[in-house]
Amino acid sequence: MNQSAVHQNTKSFYADMIKKIPIADLQLGMYIHELHGSWLSHPFWKTSFLLEDSADLAKIRHSGITHISIDLSRSQSPVTKPVSRDESVADNNQGAKVSSVLQETKSALSSFHNELKRARALCNRSRAAVTKMFGEARMGNTVSMAEARQVVDEITDSVSRHPHALITLARLKTSDDYTYMHSVAVCAMMVALAREQGMSEEQVRDAGYAGLLHDVGKMAVPDEILNKPGRLSDAEFEIIKSHPERGRDILLRTGDIPTMAIDVCLHHHEKYDGSGYPNGLVSQDISIYARMGAICDVYDAITSNRPYKKGWGPAESLQKMAQWKGHFDPVLFQSFVKVVGIYPIGSLVRLKSQRLAVVIEQSEKSLLKPKVRVFFSIRSSVPLPQTTLDLSSSGVEDSIEAREHFENWSFPYMEELWQNAL
């Protein structure tokens, strides 16, 4: 396939989704792509956002701006505009189709989106709490178990309502807040994996504490080593490898920490075949919590963008982890795949219909049949209007044929294809 042609066709499709309209036609629910005019002409610090507040609508209409561009594909209300003599009816029909797709997507994802709304606020609170706790550890003070308890309780409740919402949102981290949001993500995955293992509520919460605090020892590692964009020297890597023991010491000073949280902090880099550190433990000599922690820690790390490396796609990451023989407990790894899905949210997949799609939600009916957002025809090499397809629904004949790697395609805004569905 000509990747340049793919890129050009995709650019053309996104350009078709951008419509310039008079300010009088602006409505709530439209996604503002661009405010035409100097930034001094309007009161907003950003020029691209979903218009949800009537006060913001009034501000724009009274700003002196005469025209505005909207993004049909990201708007949440039916977007219509007068058809001039020079405009085709086909253009109007396209807008109507996009509006129909948006309404269909919104309805299909309502349950997932309900928890996403809660999870967004929870992510912000958790990030702030972890930043504060780890900051205290960096200064040599004890970690607040009261704050840790509140974070774990809220994360556990969110995972109970919908296990994928918080795990998905926690992936949307920047390199600046990686350490803190990595702890939130691992906490959520540990809770979900503990539930999958049928553990008691007390054990589930212990798993949550372990996930939240497993990397606290990194607060004793200099930032210039922790965030170094290039390859670490042998001496620097030895310092990095000291963080499990440093974390154990921090938690021992704190007191009132579940024993298993300390164990996971010390042993989450042990490997099933004995090649890990710091003690080279083998197989069942590693606690089940630490074996769980090893899986959750690695998965979130390799799917996240770092200063020195772009993250792999989620499905690709599971595939690679499955090939690392001797690294993980094979039984626990299979349970973990059930938790995140064979095709985790954000995975790029090729359907049997020879269309490309991005996974946007797991199905309760089948691990092999998630909900996807279809957006590109491989046969025609052209973008398609984005539609949501539940592969587990009766009557749907299409299915996933294979995983695709993001780097093999030159689509713009690849990550936004699934992030905008959240």
Helix (H, G, I), strand (E, B) or coil at 201: helix
**Does 171 score more than 80 pLDDT?**
no
Q: Do 228 and 327 lie in a common domain? A: yes
Q: In the sheet that 31-35 helps form, which strands lie side by side, from edge to edge?
A: 18-22, 67-71, 31-35, 49-50
Mean pLDDT, to the nearest integer, of 168-181? 78
Confidence band of 412 (pLDDT split at 50, 70, 90): low
| 402 DSSP β-pair partners | 350
Greater confidence (206 vs 173) lies with: 206
Q: Do 364 and 313 lie in a common domain? A: no
Task: For residues 359 and 371, give the distance between their C-alpha atoms in angstroms, rounded to a whole number.
Answer: 6
The CA–CA distances, whole Å, from 61 to 32, 40, 217, 310 equal 13, 15, 52, 41
Task: For residues 228 and 1, give the distance between their C-alpha atoms in angstroms, rounded to a whole number.
Answer: 37
**Does 97 score more than 50 pLDDT?**
no
Q: Do 158 and 74 lie in a common domain? A: no
The CA–CA distances, whole Å, from 151 to 205, 299, 337, 349 equal 10, 21, 25, 34
385 within 8 A of 366, measured Cβ to Cβ? no
129 within 8 A of 154, measured Cβ to Cβ? no
Q: What total of structural domains would you count in the chain?
A: 3
Helix 259-267 × helix 288-303 angle, to 10°: 50
Q: Do 126 and 243 lie in a common domain? A: yes
Greater confidence (213 vs 404) lies with: 213
Residues 6+ apart with CB under 8 A from 32: 47, 48, 49, 50, 51, 68, 69, 70, 71
What's the pLDDT at 111? 66
Mean residue pLDDT across the chain: 82
Q: Do 123 and 83 lie in a common domain? A: no
Give the pLDDT confidence of 105-137 residue by residue, as tens digits. Answer: 344 344 666 787 888 889 889 999 999 999 999
Give the pLDDT confidence of 15-64 residue by residue, as tens digits. Answer: 556 788 888 888 888 888 777 764 444 555 455 678 887 877 877 877 77
Task: For residues 317 and 172, give the distance between their C-alpha atoms in angstroms, rounded to a whole number.
Answer: 16
Q: Do 268 and 366 lie in a common domain? A: no
Q: Do 103 and 118 lie in a common domain? A: no
Question: Among 204-213, 236-245, 252-261, which is the least confidently predicted range?
Answer: 252-261
Q: Do 314 and 397 lie in a common domain? A: no
Q: Residue type at 5?
A: A
**Does 322 score more than 90 pLDDT?**
yes
The CA–CA distances, whole Å, from 30 to 14, 72, 97 equal 16, 8, 15
**Does 416 score more than 70 pLDDT?**
no
Q: Which CATH number is 155's domain given? A: 1.10.3210.10
Q: What tokens appear for 331 in the block?
A: 């039984």
Which of 78, 108, 138 is the last residue before a domain boundary?
108
Q: What tokens appear for 77 in the block?
A: 């209300």
What's the pLDDT at 419? 62
| Structural domain span for residue 49 | 3-108
Greater confidence (307 vs 179) lies with: 179
CA angle 342, 344, 345 (to 5 degrees): 150
Q: Do 138 and 33 lie in a common domain? A: no
Q: Residue type at 197?
A: Q
Which of 50, 81, 108 is the last residue before a domain boundary?
108
Give the pLDDT confidence of 355-399 residue by residue, as tens digits. Answer: 999 898 888 778 789 999 998 999 988 888 888 999 998 889 999
**Does 203 score more than 90 pLDDT?**
yes
What's the pLDDT at 44? 54
Q: Do 90 and 182 lie in a common domain? A: no
Q: What tokens appear for 83 in the block?
A: 């058809």
Which of 56, 79, 108 is the last residue before a domain boundary?
108
Confidence band of 216 (pLDDT split at 50, 70, 90): very high
Confidence band of 12 (pLDDT split at 50, 70, 90): low
What's the pLDDT at 84? 43
Q: Do 233 and 133 lie in a common domain? A: yes
- Residues above pLDDT 90, as percent of the chain: 40
| 257 DSSP β-pair partners | none
314 within 8 A of 277, measured Cβ to Cβ? no
pTM here is 0.68
Greater confidence (103 vs 358) lies with: 358
**Does 81 score more than 60 pLDDT?**
no
Most confident listed range (67-76, 378-387, 407-416): 378-387
**Does 190 score more than 50 pLDDT?**
yes
Most confident listed range (110-119, 224-233, 263-272): 263-272
Q: Do 280 and 331 lie in a common domain? A: yes
Mean pLDDT, to the nearest integer, of 243-252? 95
What's the pLDDT at 75? 76
Measured in degrees and rounded to the nearest 5, phi and psi for residue 400 equal -80, 130
